[in-house]
């Protein structure tokens, strides 16, 4: 079933039909060559899913809602990825895969070892591009929401942003206690908000890790190997996602 996002104003107030407009009309008509009577999955980008049947195809597409109780794809918890800005196009790869793995929000972070420096104009263009990648990945992976990519923050502002989250983690290559890491991850509860801080190439400086620890961020280990900045978030997101999926299944 093909998946598209729609604006809330395109969902009829009586709960019977949804209008598809914009670029998706051309994609449905001329690329997918879909016909009246075929099913589509529509999401409002805020967690609501609708199985619909196409009724009319023209300049806009009219669909009839057949099921509002679709088994959504969201994790039973919200994972916020605070990613140290990497070089080249690695951020695009990280965003794409993080969205597929269930991340709720992505916050680029300027740390002391970041090589990439973005002025406002470059940042605005990057944010537009990054959010387009998030949208595309959300469609592909049938997410119910479109994870937002925020404007870059400095490290102190990122810690402040995460101060009220339920669980805050910082994978650190010099922290080798796998038993403590397991205890921390085993304590994860469904519905929690989780912050994950990932360093850029070269990792975090020791004073940044100390600052994070002083702000309630727990150091964890990702094993005995040194992971690249584009590998580390995918590893921890996979572990957290699996645990939250397991919690969700057990609550049904």
Better pLDDT: 115 or 217: 217
Q: What is the mean pLDDT of residues 233-242?
A: 96
Yes or no: say if 101 and 238 are a contact pair by the CB < 8 Å rule.
yes
- Runs of H (alpha helix) within the chain: 23-26, 90-100, 120-140, 155-161, 178-186, 206-214, 232-251
pLDDT, residue 213, reads 96
For tokens 């949804």, what's the residue?
Answer: 18
The mean pLDDT value of the chain amounts to 92
Query: Which residues make Cβ contacts (< 8 Å) with residue 13, sequence separation at least 6?
Result: none
Residues 6 or more apart whose Cβ sits within 8 Å of residue 110: 84, 85, 117, 152, 153, 154, 155
Q: What would the mean pLDDT of 52-75 be, rounded to a whole number? A: 88
- Is the predicted pLDDT of residue 252 greater than 50, yes or no? no
Residue 105: predicted pLDDT: 98
- Mean pLDDT throughout 62-68? 92
**What is the per-residue pLDDT for 249?**
55
Q: Which pTM was predicted?
A: 0.87
Q: What is the per-residue pLDDT across 9-30, written as a single tens digit (0 to 9) for each?
A: 999 988 899 999 999 999 999 9
Confidence of residue 69 (pLDDT cuts 50, 70, 90): low
Residues 6 or more apart whose CB falls under 8 angstroms from that of 88 comprise none
Residue 199 has pLDDT above 90, yes or no: yes
Residues contacting 167, CB < 8 A, separation 6+: 184, 188, 192, 193, 194, 195, 218
Predicted local distance difference test score (pLDDT) of residue 251? 57
Residues 6+ apart with CB under 8 A from 96: 133, 134, 136, 137
pLDDT per position as a tens digit, 109-167: 999 999 888 877 888 999 999 999 999 999 999 899 999 999 999 999 999 999 999 99
Question: What is the distance between the alpha carbons of residues 230 and 214, in angstroms, rounded to a whole number?
Answer: 26
User: Could you give the CA distance from residue 208 to residue 223 in angstroms, rounded to a whole number?
Assistant: 21
Q: Domain 2-67 is classified in which CATH homologous superfamily? A: Hypothetical PUA domain-like; domain 1 (2.40.240.20)
Q: How far apart are CA 198 and CA 196, in angstroms?
A: 6
Give residue 245's pLDDT: 83
According to the model, what pLDDT value does residue 122 have? Answer: 84
Fold held by 78-251:
Alpha/beta knot (3.40.1280)
pLDDT of 32 reads 94
The SS3 of residue 210 is helix
The whole-number average pLDDT for the span 239-244 is 93
239 has a pLDDT exceeding 80: yes
Residue 38 has pLDDT above 90, yes or no: yes
For the segment 217-235, the average pLDDT, to the nearest whole number, is 95
What are the residue ranges spanned by the domains of the chain?
A: 2-67, 78-251
Tokens representing 245?
A: 């999926």
């Amino acid at each position: 079933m093909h998946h598209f996002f729609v604006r809330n104003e395109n969902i009829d107030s009586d709960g019977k039909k949804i209008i598809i407009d914009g670029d998706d009309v051309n994609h449905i008509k001329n690329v997918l060559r879909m016909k009246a009577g075929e099913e589509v999955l529509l999401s409002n980008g805020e967690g609501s899913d609708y199985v619909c049947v196409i009724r009319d195809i023209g300049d806009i597409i009219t669909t009839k809602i057949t099921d509002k109780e679709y088994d959504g794809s969201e994790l039973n918890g919200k994972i916020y990825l605070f990613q140290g800005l990497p070089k080249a196009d690695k951020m695009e790869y990280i965003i794409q895969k993080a969205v597929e793995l269930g991340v709720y929000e992505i916050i680029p972070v300027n740390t002391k070892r970041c090589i990439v420096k973005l002025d406002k104009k470059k940042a605005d263009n990057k944010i537009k591009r990054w959010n387009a990648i998030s949208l595309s990945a959300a469609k592909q992976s049938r997410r119910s929401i479109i994870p937002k990519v925020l404007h870059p923050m400095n490290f102190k502002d990122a810690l402040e942003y995460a101060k009220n989250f339920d669980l805050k983690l910082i994978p650190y290559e010099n922290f080798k206690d796998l038993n403590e890491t397991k205890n921390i991850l085993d304590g994860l509860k469904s519905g929690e908000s989780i912050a994950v801080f990932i360093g850029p190439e070269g990792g975090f400086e020791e004073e940044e890790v100390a600052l994070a620890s002083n702000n309630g961020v727990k150091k964890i280990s990702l094993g005995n190997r040194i992971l690249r900045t584009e590998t580390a978030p995918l590893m921890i997101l996979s572990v957290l996602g699996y645990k939250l999926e397991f919690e969700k299944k057990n609550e049904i």
